Structure 1
Amino acid sequence: MRRERTRALILMVALAVLATVGPRAEAATKLVSAYAAISGVFGGLWMAQEVGAFARQGLDSSLVYISSSTQIAQAMLSGEVPIALMGGEAVVNAVLGGADMVFVAGAINRPLFFMVVTPDIQRPSDLKGKALGVSRYGASSDFATRLALRHWGLEPVKDVAILQLGGIPEILAAMKAGGVKGGALSPPTSVRARREGYRELVNTADLGFFPHDAIVTTRAFLRDNEETVRAFIKGYAEGVHRYKTDKALAIDVLKKYTKVTDPELLEQTHALTAAVLEDPPLHLDVRGIQAVLDFLTVPKAKTVKPEDFMDLRVLRELEQSGFFKTIR
């Protein structure tokens, strides 16, 4: 049922684009791309869309929200979404299972989540026997949660239950309803939770590397549509630069996509996310992919290298051409 809703949403976006484009846009390459959460970590992508950065690269771009990287992986493998900004664990798991997916550029190389708990949890050991929420199993919030638990000497599932709740705002809603004792929240939800009296135990970005978000496609799409992938990377790079340097506009963009209107929440969300977004040339840190492989228990994870999951040829060509210097 959820897959059908996702497919219907993508179809509606595509039909809306077809209904509204003018003669000039008809020559552009139509591209639907996905993002995995209502979180400021996607601010660079949203900015690129809003300021016409994709259009300047010849793309008739539309964005679709799919509520976890694991679901984006399913949509990509079914051919519904050819390129996305998504978390790394879902990609690694899919490739280890024989799927065609590949990292082509980086976005955030550390897990920008805050482990936030209800006020009665005074210390990490108080979580034993309790439950934490994640968006989906295998999503970035799931990785961050397991990373934090192991950092505290707690075994995921055995010591602390992990429940999938559908999205980041839904984790906070479950905390308020008493369904879970906490979870891995990203801005602006993490900022809102702290202001409402919930306790932050750790910023998981301080615990190590992880491809929180990266530009991902399939090797088949990259092979057959290299210019489209190049155009997307160029547009996204411009969006990231504008998001980091034009605070006022960035806050307006955050307001539109997150539906948050509180100025303080928006300011803090921008500050937190702008600080960790990779500047062009969008470096992808192999230590993040290796961290995912180290976490996995399947035997194949011990026999592969991070480079097996990457094709950075287009990114390197853009860097060598001097393109990224033109948007600084």
Structure 2
Amino acid sequence: MRTLDLLASDSSHLPFLYVFKESKVMEKYGYEIDLHIVGGAKAPTMAHRAKLALAGEIDFLSGLHHETYRERAKGEKRLTYLAQAQNNWDDRLVALPEIKSVADLKGRKIVCHSKAPCVSGNLRAVLETCGLKPDEINMDVIDDTSGKFLDFVDEITSGKAVAALVDMPFDLYGVKKGLHVVDLPDRPVIHNTTLLATSDYIRDNEETVNAFIKGFIEV
């Protein structure tokens, strides 16, 4: 049975990708998944992602959203999108009970778990859509890829902030702590598990790629 190396860009991808791996859906096609995450031995930093894919050291990559355009601008056109598992933003804004609406967040500290445009950028855009002016948004962006979302929720209960943006299911932890989820408008976005490989790999491993996409859909 052949092992396929799949690299996830962030811990927010893991709920889906762990199910993909542990369901063993790929075994019927003759493959097993070796799942890696940025920050580990395979890819210590985000900068390693495109390099590993282009060097042929990983089979598939989840979450390479912007580097494809940068590489194309430099003449490197092999990075190729295969699938997109999520088209809507699903982060949750948990807050103190006194925060009844976005208007109540005016000037008050909000903890955000990533500086990535698909996280802090989306939150800022949504808050502005809901009526807050740019100078009324007090966002503390914590660029932490370790997934310590429980700590971010605890910043609210300890009085350091009034709200925090977290991935599911950490909103449930907040609810258990007496917080609630603030209703935000839906926002279409390229988020989380964007599946990518190189054109060289796709050409040379067509059967593998087709099987991987089938398993990706089936799970």
- 1:165-222 Cα deviation digits (max 9, x unpaired): 414853441342355432322321012212221131124xx42311223322334433
Q: Runs of 5+ in structure 1 lacking a partner?
A: 1-24, 240-328
**Structure 1 residue aligned with 2:48, among 55, 59, 75?**
75
SS at 2:36 equivalent: strand
Higher relative contact order (CA 8 A, sep 6+): 2
How far apart, CA to CA, are the structure 2 residues paired with 1:31 and 1:157?
A: 47
TM-score, structure 1 length as denominator?
A: 0.52
For residues 1-328 of structure 1, the aligned pairs below 5 Å read 25=1, 28=2, 30-39=3-12, 42-66=14-38, 74-79=47-52, 81-86=58-63, 91=65, 93-98=66-71, 101-138=79-116, 140-155=118-133, 159-167=137-145, 169-177=147-155, 178-203=159-184, 206-212=185-191, 213-239=193-219
RMSD over aligned Cα, in angstroms?
A: 3.1
Change over 3 Å in CA distance of 1:72–1:56 after alignment to 2: farther
Distance (Å, rounded) in 2 between the aligned partners of 1:166 and 1:176? 15
Q: 1:83 to 1:156 in 2, by over 3 A?
A: farther
Deviation at 1:157, TM superposition (A): 7.1
**Quick check: which one's strand share is greater?**
2
Write the distance in 2 (CA, Å) between the matches of 1:51 and 1:59. 12
Shift of 1:62: 0.7
Contact 1:145 1:183 in 2 (8 A): no
Query: Which residue identity is paired with 1:83?
Result: F
Structure with greater proportional helix content? 1
Q: How big is each residue's C-alpha offset from its partner over 1:277-308, in whole Å with a ceiling of 9 and x where there is no partner?
A: xxxxxxxxxxxxxxxxxxxxxxxxxxxxxxxx
Distance 2:92 2:25 in 1: 31
Identity of aligned residues (%): 20
* Separation in structure 1 between the aligned mates of residue 88 and residue 82 of structure 2, nearest angstrom: 17
Q: Is the 8 A contact 1:110 1:208 kept in 2?
A: yes
Contact 1:76 1:83 in 2 (8 A): no
CA offset at residue 44 of structure 1?
4.2
SS at match of 1:161: strand
d(CA) in 1 for partners of 2:143 and 2:20?
29
Cα distance, 1:183–1:37 mapped onto 2, change above 3 Å:
farther
TM-score by length of 2: 0.73
Q: List runs of 5+ in structure 2 lacking aligned partners.
A: none
> Any idea what SS the aligned residue of 1:207 has?
coil
Amino acid across the alignment from 1:45: L
Secondary structure in 1 aligned to 2:47?
helix
Partner residue of 1:249?
none
SS at structure 2 position matched to 1:97: helix
CA contact (8 A) 1:132 1:180 kept: yes
Deviation sequence 1:251-276 (CA, Å, 0-9, x none):
xxxxxxxxxxxxxxxxxxxxxxxxxx
